[in-house]
Structure 1
């Protein structure tokens, strides 16, 4: 049994085997863990808690829903927002992505089902992805829904370790199954639904065994473009150059 440390409207946080497990819970009434400014505020609260944890740990982001990880921005909600509200959402999404990509612990996205658009971008910001083998697709449909990538979302997508697959995904909107994602090296492993979360936690435990500071310093050094964006919006991260250097 894990220890529950956060209960929020759209997600919960537990610590199990020393690993922080962020579980997305906003799946009622077709919400599919979609993103709004309020949801992003909860992500930021969760990241704050992980960052302040003093021991070695990792973060696993998952969802207990049988078919959906996250389908990205809640477009119905976004269309009701003023220009100021839309800009606030965009700024917070960029903030969440930069903080997740440069978080001071290892990160694993446990993709239990469909990860589309902003949900797939969030998963791309993690260090590793594991995915369900028998259900769910991984997709960037922005070209079809007429939403261009921002400079930060482009850099996050480019973290995926297959340039050709990225090119096909962003320019055609193709949706890949778990098996296809494994073949394309977009995920580290695939598993049946009842084995998936255990596999994600096992990987997270292995990563948490590394020295936390050294791991993040090395990883962040290979994410210099995202680090540059992070510095411009005031995010502190391990490996950040000293001022004046």
Structure 2
């Protein structure tokens, strides 16, 4: 199915990975607030129904987010890197009020959103599920986790506003359009993956690691954080 070229178009794989990641992240945010409202509430609460299983549900959504997140990160920092900050972002941000300033700010918000989600899922893995039910509310990782989700909520709100400013409502709606161009067909994914796998080697990894660009440094930081989150999670299962 080919989409009209005049309409905003988002690659199908981006829509899928972005959609699933967003769905799980938003579900985790909602259940995170519910958990906070039941077990904490020191900075305000709305007295949601006391559902003791909500923390486990929150953890499940957080886990699903962590499962799909690496795929989204890999796509975003490679095929989708033109939607993130680049080496000239600081220079472009000096052109306040111009269209390039808004586009650059949009890319900056996209990048910060990925970092915020990284902080949220990583800090969540550092926590113990028994802390809140037992009233242990002063652990450092719990505060970090709260801050991470708060930053993520702010980033999502600004991300939506930036989308409307840069591309209008049609840009947001394009993320929910399931039409795709012929060159973007899922039938080609297997072939494209095979081509990428055949070209992949130690020289590619070495070149990737030697890159000094800010975006590559952020990508490495995010991927290392995700790997450490899984290592810590496995160690907790084995040792406790």
Q: Is the strand fraction higher in 1 or 2?
A: 1
Q: Is the helix fraction higher in 1 or 2?
A: 2
Q: Provide the TM-score with structure 2 as the length reference.
A: 0.29
Higher Cα radius of gyration: 2
Larger RCO (CA under 8 A, 6+ residues apart) = 2
